[in-house]
Amino acid sequence: MKYSLLLVSLFILAICSIHAQEMVSPNKKIKVIVEHQAGAKVLGEVYFKVLYKNKSGYTEVIPNSPLGILRKDQQFSGNLRCVGESESEPVNEKYEMISGKRKWCENLANEKVFKYVNANNKPMNIVFRVYNDGVAFRYEFTEKSDALTEIIDETTTYTIPESTHRWVQPFHNSYEDFFPFSDTGKGEDNKQVWGFPALFKINNNNPVWVLLSEANITENNCAARLTNIKNPNQYKVTYPPARNDFKQEGVKTTLPWTSQWHALNIGQLSDVVESTLITDVSEPVKIKETSWIKPGAVSWIYWAFNHGSKDYQKVVEYTDLAVEMKWPYVLIDWEWDVMTNGGDIVAAVNDANSKGIKPLMWYNSGTEWLEPTPVDRMLTSEKRNKELAWLKDIGVYGIKVDFFNGDQQDMMKYYIDILKDAAKYQIMVNFHGATVPRGWARTYPNVMTTEAVYGAEWYNNKSVLTSKAAVHNATLPFTRNVIGSMDYTPVTFSDSQHPHITSYAHELALSVVFESGFQHFADRPQAYYDLPQEPKEFLKNVPVAWDNTKLVEGYPGENVIIARKKGNQWYLGGINGKDEKQTLQINFNFLDKGKYNIKLIKDGEDDKSFEVVVLKVKKGSVLNVECLPRGGFVAVLEK
């Protein structure tokens, strides 16, 4: 009997340490190897590495990277023994998105479960999925217990080769900062704490791009960040610290439990930009009836005046702007609870509805900055449901909830509770001053957009965006906007408190380059009324939710051309991120066969004028577009 058990143990060890730890994507381009580096007592570290196949074979893009997770009562790192693994199983499902870069998405991967026990014989699984455009993995505790278990940390670390080029944002609760280029991994403040997503260019001679993020956050997860304090080329997944009003690190949960998905978009730049990996690994839709969820353009009052909606007459002006521009929504921002000058909030809502415009309203989450009111109407279930019922009754279609306080578990639960309760009253949601998207757009599609970006609102606050906007705008399509809708509040032609020096055509292009289920157009009404006919008509008709998205050309911080399809039309947006003239080249290989009419609206003689060009193109055609410094263009193609 002992001899048989020994043979079984040796067989399991052999399985866990040799060939079966290798996984490949359905198209064979991405390979994952999971290694168990066992000590003398068969307890040891678990690592993974990722290889990408190019013309010369597989290249290592993520070298050996530690795996592991820590509970308060148990350690699952450095003391693991492999007890088996599943066969590689295909994942293959199609699902529909209401908003986002693609309507029909395909969740296609190969999945394998690696099974371990720790020194106390407690089980833990690591589930890996390998996609054609990336890798995702998560931890599972499979035992059952009604007692609260505390998950306090991870040893998960992403190792990258030295001299890797990177675009990583210093961490803030609001995720509002730039993505500066670096090849050292060191930050200006020496804190070495970074927010998701994080973009890396591996191997500069034959580059492979990697974007790190995470997805499928639930009420039983907190959201993580990255730290590289010990080694600038090792980015550790790090849980948020306790807050003054929330004395908890990590997660408290019953068992069984699963972590968030750790997500790595991998491939060429187009693979990263076009990927739907974040929603692929997230839970399917939990809202039974969704016909009331409708993406759309929004007129927005705050940007031009650095104030909210206290003045009823100004709110009416923005409602009338939505009517003129054929935008379905108007956002009534903060200060609506003290509205004067001819009407109150109910009058403003009635005015909008009477003109065929659907009103949205702003709320303070009540968790961080408590000056703008109303402060706490969303904070508890009782207050939230009372407020949502009132909004439904008076004819409001969506809410913007602002000023969230961190990535701790209680905040994740708060986001999800808002989405669940809002859905009961058919209310759409915009999260502002918030965490980045983590897959909720699939599970709760009434979340239309999230800020979590250093957007045009910052023209109100500091002068820094004036000089950095162009390069920042040309970086966001490769970083923040990859993982979900982004409420940048784009397309402004006049100046707010601080000027912008991007061209008018550059600003127009942001309506296509940036994806957001609610696209808030932020300028003064007169700025849109004064536009020439062609760009004005373009803004009246440009969609905000897309059937397909293609990266035509681009490089972070330098330039980008995005092509997005809606129905039988393609919309193109291109921007120059440089302070010098640049020729952007459109290769029309993304088109189907046949001839297309194209209307191109590009930089004119100066940065405040446009030129309109009409011509025909077909699949394989190439068109060079001259852009001014910080310039750009849009185009509409139709067969």
What residues does each domain of the chain span? Answer: 2-280, 454-484+492-516+527-639
- What per-residue confidence (pLDDT) applies to 188? 81
Res. 8 pLDDT band, cuts 50 70 90:
very low
- Amino acid, res. 371: E
- What per-residue confidence (pLDDT) applies to 43? 87
Res. 16 pLDDT band, cuts 50 70 90:
low
Distance between CA atoms of 608 and 610, rounded to whole angstroms?
A: 7
- Is the per-residue pLDDT at 4 higher than 70? no
**Tens-digit pLDDT profile for residues 332-365:** 999 999 999 999 999 999 999 999 999 999 999 9
Residues 6+ apart with CB under 8 A from 236: 154, 155, 156, 157, 158, 226, 227, 228, 230
* Domain 2-280 architecture: Distorted Sandwich (2.70)
- pTM, 2 dp: 0.96
Residue 469's closest CA among 443, 444, 502, 420?
502
Which residues, listed in sequence order, are joined to residue 135 by a DSSP beta bridge?
130, 264
Phi-psi region of 42 (alpha: psi -120 to 50; beta: other; left: phi over 0): left
User: For the residues 169-191, what does the mean pLDDT come to?
Assistant: 94
Distance between CA atoms of 76 and 68, rounded to whole angstroms?
A: 6
- What per-residue confidence (pLDDT) applies to 18? 42
How wide is the angle at C-alpha 151 spanned by C-alphas 146 and 155, nearest 5°? 150
- Is the per-residue pLDDT at 258 higher than 90? yes
Computed over its alpha carbons, how large is the radius of gyration of the chain?
Answer: 25
Q: Which residue has the tokens 């807050």?
A: 243
Hey, what are 124's tokens?
């833990």
Hey, what are 264's tokens?
């790595």
What are the backbone angles phi and psi of residue 320, rounded to the nearest 5°? -65, -35
Distance between CA atoms of 440 and 484, rounded to whole angstroms?
A: 9
**Tens-digit pLDDT profile for residues 507-562:** 999 999 999 999 999 999 999 999 999 999 999 999 999 999 999 999 999 999 99
In this structure, what is the dihedral angle of CA atoms 609, 613, 618, 623, given to the nearest 10 degrees? -50
What are the backbone angles phi and psi of residue 404, rounded to the nearest 5°? -80, 155
**Tens-digit pLDDT profile for residues 460-507:** 989 999 999 999 999 999 999 999 999 999 999 999 999 999 999 999
**Tens-digit pLDDT profile for residues 123-139:** 999 999 999 999 999 99
Distance between CA atoms of 256 and 369, rounded to whole angstroms?
A: 36
- Is the per-residue pLDDT at 189 higher than 90? no
**Tens-digit pLDDT profile for residues 260-281:** 999 999 999 999 999 999 999 9
Residue 80 is given by DSSP the state B
Distance between CA atoms of 531 and 76, rounded to whole angstroms?
A: 61
Hey, what are 193's tokens?
């704490």
Distance between CA atoms of 130 and 373, rounded to whole angstroms?
A: 46
* Domain 454-484+492-516+527-639 architecture: Alpha-Beta Barrel (3.20)
- What per-residue confidence (pLDDT) applies to 6? 42
**Tens-digit pLDDT profile for residues 64-82:** 999 999 999 999 999 999 9
Mean pLDDT, all residues of the chain: 95
Strands (E), 338-393: 358-364
With contact defined as beta carbons under 8 Å apart, do 630 and 579 qualify? yes
- What per-residue confidence (pLDDT) applies to 38? 62
**Tens-digit pLDDT profile for residues 435-464:** 999 999 999 999 999 999 999 999 998 999
- What per-residue confidence (pLDDT) applies to 103? 98
With contact defined as beta carbons under 8 Å apart, do 470 and 580 qualify? no
Residue 526 is given by DSSP the state H
For residue 634, the Cα-to-chain-centroid distance in whole angstroms is 23
Query: Omega before 197 cis (within 30°)?
Result: yes
Share of the chain above pLDDT 90, in %: 92
Q: Number of helices (H) and strands (E), helices first, in the chain?
A: 13, 35
- What per-residue confidence (pLDDT) applies to 17? 47
Res. 397 pLDDT band, cuts 50 70 90:
very high
Hey, what are 561's tokens?
């051309």
- What per-residue confidence (pLDDT) applies to 456? 97
User: For the residues 51-64, what does the mean pLDDT come to?
Assistant: 94
Distance between CA atoms of 523 and 299, rounded to whole angstroms?
A: 8
Q: Which residue has the tokens 């307890």?
A: 43
Largest CA distance in the chain: 90
- Is the per-residue pLDDT at 3 higher than 60? no
- Is the per-residue pLDDT at 14 higher than 50? no
Residues 6+ apart with CB under 8 A from 540: 325, 326, 327
